[in-house]
Amino acid sequence: MVDQRDMASIIGEVDFFDGLPADTLELLAGCAKNVRFNAGDYIYREGQAADTFYIIRHGSVAVQLHVPGRRPLVIESLTTNEVLGWSWIVAPYRWSFDAQCVTLVRALAFDATCLRGKMETDCAVGYEMLRRFVTVMSQRLRGTRIRLADMYAPTVNAAD
């Protein structure tokens, strides 16, 4: 069993929270718990309430788009030290995709309702969290845009 002080130090070791003051880490710890999923488990499904976000501590998660008549399409995979899920921070707080474990996954799970409340009442915490999430969202949007170019598609050399 991990007490809240231990949880704060675990959270403090996560890159995503790098540089947060101790009192903010304590506050985050109050909303956090350790979770574990087996390979194949769905952490969340499209349309469900986004009431949690995760920092993956071990393992790999496939973010999937369900396509009728086809196997689910993996649009992104996330692994150790990466953030899983941002729909909890954007109304109407519903997951847009499925998240399925590729391997056994150990993660930190943060209660989004608890955290949203703290972000509302403490602007400094709200700003820090948004700043960090916007960075992640921006990186993933950029990655998605680059992939839209289908850059590995064959191109004809003029001599060929």
Q: Which residues make up the interface to another protein (CB under 8 A)?
A: 60, 62, 64, 70-77, 79, 81, 100, 102-103, 143, 146-147, 149-160
Ramachandran angles phi, psi of 93, nearest 5°: 55, 55
Nearer to another protein, 6 or 15 (CB): 15
Q: Which of 133, 85, 137, 73 is nearest to 109 (CA)?
A: 85
Element housing 129 (H / E): helix 123-148
CB of 157 to another protein, least distance (A): 6
Q: Which of 85, 4, 93 is nearest to 43 (CA)?
A: 85
CB of 85 to another protein, least distance (A): 16
CB of 108 to another protein, least distance (A): 18
DSSP string, 74-95: EEEEE-TT-EE--GGGSTT-B-
Angle at 75 between CA 148 and CA 64, to 5 degrees: 150
Q: Which of 97, 82, 96 is nearest to 132 (CA)?
A: 82
Nearer to another protein, 12 or 72 (CB): 72
For residue 39, the one-letter residue type is A
CB of 149 to another protein, least distance (A): 5
CB of 19 to another protein, least distance (A): 18
